[in-house]
Amino acid sequence: MNKLLKYEFRATLRLYLPLYLVMLGFAVLGRFSLWGVPWKVTVQEDLVGWTNLSVSVAGTGVGNEVLAILLNIVLTGNVLVLLGAMVVHFIITLQRFWKNLMGDEGYLMFTLPVSTGELLWSKAICAFVWGVVTALMVLLSVLVLAWHPQLVQAVKQELSTIAPEEWQLILQMLHSVLPPVMWLILVAEAVISGVGGLFLLYSAMAIGHTVKNHKVLASVGAYGIISMVLGTAASLLMNLLLPLMAGIPQDIQLNSLSDLLLFSYQIGRFMTGIWLVALVIDLLSAIGGFLLARHLLNTQLNLE
């Protein structure tokens, strides 16, 4: 298993590293475009009284016009790169599973002294980790793009206007709405939902691969049917279990601090119950997706 993960991370690193370098490059260029160039904002009113804002580079001349065009291209490219990062990650995830296990490379992979389950776990763990890293890189790119000392100072000044007793009330409400057990459930839900979603994706591709013609279209259709069935079942199960959870009182009066804290506590209990049910549903879905994908790869895979 460790060797499989080492091989998978090494093989995918050469795909993700250029993506991350491009993201950071555009983020640095975008930050220069936002904060290093003197912008001029023009406010005008049209005939019907609507206010229109136009942003341009301060100054006149052909050089400024060319600079404005280049900066707009950089900013547009930065937005497209950030929006497309997760799409690229999704495509790499599909390509690695399809080509590596159900394509020509499958002849080699299935001759290794490992089980089909280990192959699935290696793919899922690697794809999940790269998904988390990609999301963090998107966040880092946004921070690089937006960070500026004046902006940070403005946020600090705005937060300093909140009185200490107001901060204490906010922290108490957050602790009531998001108790420590809630954080554990959310972390577990994020991991199980992410890995389980990959297993469902793999099982859909394995189903599509059993079709003689139009394998990709069959995989898309299988994933749509699986998602619809699981979504319907999850909704029915949630509706059955909701009445058994601790509900939010309907007649509570928010006339005092204690009433507000009690209301926050009730919301926290209710949300903890919802996320706990969602965790169980996603765990069952992940187990089902893994077992289905493993069964299809063991019994129905045809690499010819």
Using a 10 angstrom Cβ sphere, with 0-12 exposed, 13-18 middle and 19 or more buried, the burial of residue 191 is middle
Specify the number of domains making up the chain. 1
Task: Say if 219 falls within a structural domain.
Answer: yes
CA-closest candidate to residue 79, choices 138, 16, 149: 138
pLDDT (tens digit per residue) in 204-230:
888 888 877 888 888 888 889 888 888
The model's pLDDT over 4-33, given as tens digits with 9 standing for 90+, comes to: 888 888 888 888 998 899 888 888 887 777
Print the domain residue range for 233: 162-304
Q: 52: helix, coil or strand? A: strand
Count how many residues are written for the chain: 304
240 located within any domain:
yes
Q: Express each pLDDT in 236-277 by its tens digit.
A: 877 777 666 655 555 556 566 666 677 777 777 777 778 888
DSSP string, 45-61: E-TTS-EEEEEEESS-S
Q: Is residue 261 part of a domain?
A: yes
H or E stretch covering 246: none
Let me know if residue 127 belongs to a domain: no
Domain assignment present for residue 76? The answer is no
250 belongs to a structural domain? yes
pTM of this prediction? 0.78
Domain membership flag for residue 253: yes
Joined together, the tokens standing for residue 18 give 């250029």
Phi, psi of 57 (to 5 degrees): -75, 130
Domain assignment of residue 272, yes or no: yes
